[in-house]
Amino acid sequence: MKKLLAITLLTLVSIVSAFAQNGAGEQELIRLQQEFRVAIERGDRDALNRFIADDFSNRSGGNKTGLIENSLKDFKERQSNPNLKNFTYTPFDFTVKFKGADMAVMRFKVADRGQFKGKDFSDYRHRTLVWMKRGGRWQVVEADNSPFTDEQTLRQIEREWEDANKNKDKAWFERTYADEYTAINAVGKMFNKTEDIADTLSNTNTVTSAELSDVKVRVYGDTAVVTGRLHRIGKDKNGNFDRNFMFTDTFVKRDGRWQIIATQATFVAPETTTKN
């Protein structure tokens, strides 16, 4: 019995240790990815040579030299393009899976945003990096990029919308709502773009949790309809609230960018408010 208990404890210790090591390794690789990006922005060839393995390859047949040259060229062209303003590169939703101690597959998403010829744009893509540890140093041996589908982009906009509501992000509303945008809230009141943004910014409610579910996306050329459920928890002037909605959002695609043209929400459960 004591022997069995000792084996069980050793197994648990090994599992906990492995999780801890993977967690630390994941953070290290995310940090290295950030440094990799900084090296591109600085035009630091020496750093890129250290980050990228000599036997690097990608699906299109690219090699180490090609990746370095293309990365630096693309960045330089963005910097010098007079039609491109306020470009930002934002990586998010990192996952890292280790395959043994010396190999890891990193997947994340990237949002490229800015203005081109005076018009806002937001492009989303998936990014995959395969890392190998050689001589105690992590290097990229494979890389891949793939753009979001329309459905993936619309789902991402829905998630960003809730973040924008929580953070009262006026710039996000201005660029994502179409000029003829209309909203009908859960109590039947209608707003245009200007009115809805003003109402959101002046709202003193605090949302602590917002969860989307049952989201369905239907794309019809340059028009799309998204339906789903939204569960919000927070606090208003009366106290805590816990609210559930069903929503229908209509999008149009203009100049390659999806914008919200109409939204309507409906309560699907009684509002619960607890007095402070």
pLDDT in tens, 5-42: 445 444 443 433 443 455 678 999 999 999 999 999 88
- pLDDT, one tens digit per residue, over 179-229 is 999 999 999 999 999 999 999 999 888 888 999 999 999 999 999 999 999
Pair (115, 185) in one structural domain: no
Pair (243, 191) in one structural domain: yes
Domain end point (choices 125, 148, 171)? 148
Q: Say whether pLDDT at 97 is over 90.
A: yes
Higher pLDDT, 21 or 118: 118
- pLDDT, one tens digit per residue, over 148-162 is 999 999 999 999 999
Pair (157, 89) in one structural domain: no
What one-character-per-residue DSSP string does 34-45 give?
Answer: HHHHHHHHHT-H
CA angle 128, 132, 135 (to 5 degrees): 155
Q: Say whether pLDDT at 2 is over 60.
A: no
Q: What is the pLDDT of residue 3?
A: 54
Pair (269, 187) in one structural domain: yes
Instruction: Give the CATH number, domain containing residue 54.
Output: 3.10.450.50
Total domains in the fold of the chain: 2
Backbone torsion region of residue 47, taken as left when φ is above 0, otherwise alpha when ψ lies between -120 and 50, otherwise beta: alpha
Q: What is the pLDDT of residue 269?
A: 65
Q: What is the pLDDT of residue 58?
A: 87
Q: What is the pLDDT of residue 8?
A: 45
* pLDDT band per the 50, 70, 90 thresholds, residue 238: confident
Domain end point (choices 82, 114, 148)? 148
Pair (234, 187) in one structural domain: yes
Q: What is the pLDDT of residue 49?
A: 94
Pair (252, 187) in one structural domain: yes
**Mean pLDDT, all residues of the chain:** 89
Percentage of residues in the chain having pLDDT higher than 70: 89
Pair (157, 225) in one structural domain: yes
d(CA 117, CA 85): 8
* Structural domain harbouring 41: 2-148
Pair (32, 165) in one structural domain: no
* pLDDT band per the 50, 70, 90 thresholds, residue 4: low
Strands of 119-134's sheet in order across: 52-58, 137-147, 119-134, 103-116, 84-98
Domain end point (choices 98, 118, 148)? 148
Pair (155, 213) in one structural domain: yes
Q: Cα 34 to chain center, whole Å?
A: 16
d(CA 196, CA 84): 29
Token pair 């579910």 in the structure block, residue: 213
DSSP 8-class letter at 230? E
- Closest C-alpha among 94, 124, 276, 252 to residue 182: 252
Task: Give mean pLDDT, residues 122-135.
Answer: 95
Task: Give mean pLDDT, residues 115-129.
Answer: 93
Coil, helix or strand at residue 26:
helix
What helix, strand, coil percent values describe the chain, rounded to 5? 35, 50, 15
Q: Say whether pLDDT at 244 is over 50.
A: yes
Residue 251 near residue 224, CB atoms below 8 Å: yes
Q: What is the pLDDT of residue 1?
A: 55
* pLDDT band per the 50, 70, 90 thresholds, residue 271: very low
Pair (169, 143) in one structural domain: no
Q: What is the CA radius of gyration of the chain?
A: 24
Instruction: List Cβ<8 Å contacts ≥24 apart for 234-240.
Output: 234/205, 234/206, 234/207, 234/208, 234/209, 235/205, 235/206, 235/208, 236/204, 236/205, 236/206, 236/273, 237/204, 237/205, 238/273, 238/275, 239/273, 239/274, 239/275, 239/276, 240/273, 240/274, 240/276
Pair (76, 192) in one structural domain: no
Pair (222, 206) in one structural domain: yes
Q: What is the pLDDT of residue 17?
A: 42
